[in-house]
């Protein structure tokens, strides 16, 4: 009996692990619901059903539909900002910009619904994410622009407009999430393939590096 109790104790999962698993499950379900139905067309009940959890459990973690919506927006924004944060003035743009393009395209592949929700939020005037745009994103944007300026000052990159370079990087990579349906139709595929994303990485890297006067080798 004592041995059985010890074994049960050893195999019992930590509450923090269960909590994080539930949160991830809820957010993933919320991404799909908000992407398919919009904010007004989504309910907490539909999210709970998609997550396979009782509605009270969803409300325990997020309190409201608005809270869930903000969590979805915050998660994708944090992923995007993390990729920007890892660009440093000491790193050569040849490797750094390629690495950034790879990360952004993988985020578009892995989190397409969240990217679409963010795009829709911006098109509607950003009522739920404006504070994030004006605060954390603006600070990270300025920091990344400063990195680009440092590369230009070192002669590693032509004197391109750093702000618009960043806008171009966002537009070209996020389109593989936001406009994936159009791409799939035109390519005659049910889904974009790994080869499609690899081709995008190579093309965008070549366009950006050559366009910015960065030596490829």
As a CATH number, domain 1-63 is 1.10.10.60
Tens-digit pLDDT profile for residues 119-166? 999 999 999 999 999 999 999 999 999 999 999 999 999 999 999 999
Where do we find the tokens 């993988």?
A: 106
Is the domain defined by 73-211 classed in CATH 1.10.490.10?
no
Listed by start position, the domains of the chain span 1-63, 73-211
> Is the confidence at residue 2, as pLDDT, over 80?
no
pTM attached to this predicted model: 0.87
Are residues 94 and 215 in contact, defined by beta-carbon separation less than 8 angstroms? Answer: yes
- Residue 215 pLDDT: 87
Which of 16-25, 40-49, 154-163 is most confident?
A: 154-163
Residue 124: closest CA among 81, 183, 80, 73: 73
Q: What share of the chain is helix, strand, coil (3-state, %, to 5)?
A: 75, 0, 25
Copy the structure tokens of residue 135: 């605060």
Helix 55-62 vs helix 65-85: angle between axes, to the nearest 10 degrees? 50
Maximum distance among all Cα pairs of the chain, rounded to whole angstroms: 74
More confident residue, 14 or 190: 190
């Amino acid at each position: 009996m004592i041995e059985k109790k010890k074994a049960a104790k050893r195999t019992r999962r930590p509450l923090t692990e269960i909590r994080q698993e539930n949160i991830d499950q809820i957010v993933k379900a919320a991404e799909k619901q908000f992407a398919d139905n919009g904010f007004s067309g989504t309910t907490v009940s539909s999210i709970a059903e998609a997550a396979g959890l009782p509605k009270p459990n969803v409300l325990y973690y997020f309190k409201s539909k608005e809270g869930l919506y903000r969590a979805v927006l915050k998660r994708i924004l944090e992923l995007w900002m993390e990729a920007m944060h890892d660009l440093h003035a000491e790193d050569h743009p040849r490797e750094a910009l390629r690495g950034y393009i790879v990360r952004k395209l993988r985020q578009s592949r892995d989190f397409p619904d969240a990217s679409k929700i963010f795009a829709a939020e911006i098109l509607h005037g950003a009522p739920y994410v404006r504070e994030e745009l004006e605060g954390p994103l603006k600070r990270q944007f300025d920091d990344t622009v400063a990195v680009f300026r440092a590369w230009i000052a070192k002669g590693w990159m032509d004197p391109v407009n750093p702000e618009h370079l960043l806008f171009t990087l966002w537009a070209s990579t996020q389109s593989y999430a936001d406009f994936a349906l159009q791409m799939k139709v035109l390519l005659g595929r049910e889904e974009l393939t790994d080869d499609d994303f690899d081709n995008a990485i190579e093309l965008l890297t070549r366009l950006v590096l050559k366009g910015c006067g960065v030596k490829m080798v």
